[in-house]
Chains A and B, each alone.
Chain A
């Protein structure tokens, strides 16, 4: 094409390109908005999305009383800090006390932080012992951290094979059935009497 003709055509095409650029941006943000709306609609029908179970509080504090329950995500940190995935504002709980992750059905692996300790069904777990032999919460296990005692309950589909009930003379059974007369979910709500988001 002759250079002067091309110059006129290219000059005229500037408007076309600006228009298409604006159209592309509008379409992109429209897609983003529609996708966001669709995702919200899906999540509205799945209130427990992202949670694998809950920790029912057997012994806690004024802020986290017995009978409450805390939803448990797949992975995260349990501690007294507000930024933790599970916040346990109870004396004796460090800001970031335990790292946990859902490994397989009915198994929430627990790794205490450096110089932290917790108990699973009465058995002490430290960072060193967890490195040697991984410690995990099963459905119904009791986690003692600081002055708090929390009972793990997996949701349907995450629990795997349910283990048999504990003998009545074990400390875990005493904590679970002796200290709390009514189980939290018997109050009617999905999260017990009061819901606490971690």
Chain B
């Protein structure tokens, strides 16, 4: 009886979160609809909460998934659509379409994890595929913002490094779990080298950080972690000496106002937007976020700060913390080291990416060109973030299966409250 009451409480906590998220987006889109008196805003005020409800309640029936992770993902994706609708409505519609595709991709990733076993066969196939994908921008890529990391196929542009994120995690987890250092290490080095050749330093930083932390998670050696951090610092110093654009970014980070009209313009505008937002923001639909050049991508967090204020921005950060916490919990509960490392890698990738871009926007660290997971505009980024969540969800569903199996074997069945 007591246990049932406690489970009811846990279920109510989940329902309360979903309803609060739905109410938030209903009122926000309604407000924007009233501003423009356009039917699109009113339509979104109904469809976005409906999608959140479906995503949190119906999707778990279609494929095994963690409802809290789904709710957090829905909240962050819908927040991206809201901010984009305010600043550039056509981008908001395409972001919603990518969110739908992302849900399907997440479902695929869940089943890949469930069917991959120890990941041995899968990882062997993924090594050449990853290297091929990462080489493509060097052969036929286009240069955007100083990095040659985009390719255009059949009229569609995408970043292969976003897809390789997922593949790399599977390869690293499979070989690290079996302590095959001389397979995963050269693979990671070649991936990093290809990214450096593309001058995609932000993604290279992410790959390096995630590989290092995953290796630490697999072997638990602080000496390795220290050596890796020292190596990373050495590589950063070398990069600073070798690349002019790295030196420029560090200079802008130290004092954006020194070159306000040129290199420092974006970060200075971002800082002014955050400052003008204050504690409660200037109000949804007000302010002038389009002054920031990359307001849809890298600097979307500054737009959130300006419109909703510091209190809400801290709430968004707390949602990312909850996401990382949940991912780490799933990873630590995994029964197989491959699954544990896979979930940990996906969590680290999301957490580190969030830290790198938010840290860059608030001038905590030098700015690197990565997107804010789930929120920033961009199909490749949203799809890869949804796939990362799919990997965590897959491991989470396997953990649930294992717990049920344990209960069955212990002859407890329903008596154990399962």
Contact = CB atoms under 8 A, between A and B. Distances in A.
Contacts of B401: none
Contact of B412 (A34, A46, A76): A46
A46 B335 contact: no
B410 interface: yes
B308 interface: yes
Given A7-B286, A25-B318, A42-B417, A14 B281 contact: yes
A31 interface: yes
Contacts of A144: none
Secondary structure class of chain B's binding surface, majority of residues: helix
Contacts of B179: 77, 96, 99, 113
A74 B401 CA distance: 14
Nearest to B409: A157
Secondary structure class of chain A's binding surface, majority of residues: helix
B410 A6 contact: no
Given A37-B6, A73-B335, A24 B21 contact: yes
B245 interface: no
Contact of A74 (B10, B326, B336, B412): B336
B178 A30 contact: no
A76 B337 contact: yes
Range, interface on chain B: 35 or more
Nearest to B10: A34
A34 B9 contact: yes
Contact of A10 (B285, B315, B417, B418): B285
Interface stretch (B30-38, B93-101, B103-111, B165-173): B30-38
A18 B280 contact: yes
Contact of B407 (A18, A20, A24, A42): A42
A165 interface: no
Contacts of B325: 32
Contact of A11 (B27, B283, B326): B283
Contacts of B178: 99, 111
A197 B98 CA distance: 47
Given A21-B24, A48-B406, A74-B335, A42 B311 contact: no
Given A13-B283, A21-B24, A25-B319, 5 more contacts: A14-B280, A21-B311, A25-B322, A36-B329, A113-B179
Interface of A: 1, 6-7, 9-11, 13-18, 20-25, 27-32, 34-39, 41-43, 45-46, 48-50, 73-77, 83, 85, 96, 99, 101, 111, 113, 155-158
